[in-house]
Amino acid sequence: MAERADAARNRRAILLATEELLARFRPEQISMEQVAAAAGVGKGTVFHRFGSRLGLMTALMQERAYALHDAVENGPPPLGPGAPAGERLLAFFDAIVDLVARNKGLLAALGHAVTAAPRPDPDHADGHPLHQAWWAHVQALIAAERPDLDAEAAADVLLGALQSGPVLRLFERGEGKRVAAAVHAMVEALLRASCTVGLPQVE
């Protein structure tokens, strides 16, 4: 069923108000009353729509994550279709690191990383579809660029690194640029290695 126009406007206003408040306050300092006042809606509307502050923060994080997913699926290259696999892989990791860096407080409040991307498992079909899509995207790009590699394991390692405790602590300390540089270098190294595959060894 399509969302009513007024309900859609309210949802957009609430999420926008939450974004503006997050620019000035930590997530735990923001109340549902503040969000309602900033959005120009009743407190009951916020609770009815999102259930709790956690539900509201989760919805905002999901919207940001789906915006990235839409850019991957439909946006311009190199993040979107039309660029070589290697360029798309670099652009994806640049974008996902930026997403985490810009939303580190929100992710900390939610208690998990949006980068969690478990391998699609037929025995666990309830995995988050966005996480599965990102894993599949990375795996496919690695397979296209490095057919000599175990692309599934490589995708697990690259995405898994972004949800490790030490890396998340770097984000929390505001060192997202260090993470971005390290991840970019790792992906570039993986791509450069493809140029040496099959070359004779120099004695």
* One-character DSSP codes across 4-71: PHHHHHHHHHHHHHHHHHHTTS-GGG--HHHHHHHHTS-HHHHHHHHSSHHHHHHHHHHHHHHHHHHH
- Return the CATH number of the domain spanning residue range 54-193: 1.10.357.10
Q: How confident is the model at residue 97 (pLDDT cuts 50, 70, 90)?
A: very high
Least confident residue range of 20-29, 33-42, 71-80, 104-113: 104-113
198 against 154, higher pLDDT = 154
**146/152 Cα distance (integer angstroms):** 11
CATH architecture of structural domain 1-51:
Orthogonal Bundle (1.10)
Q: Which two tokens stand for residue 41?
A: 């809606």
**pLDDT for res 126:** 39
Poorest-pLDDT segment among 22-31, 103-112, 130-139, 145-154: 103-112
Please state whether the predicted TM-score (pTM) of the whole model is above 0.95.
no
Nearest 5°: phi and psi at 124? Answer: -135, 65
pLDDT tens for each residue of 136-190: 999 999 999 999 999 999 999 999 888 888 998 898 888 999 999 999 999 999 9
CATH 1.10.10 range(s) for the chain read 1-51
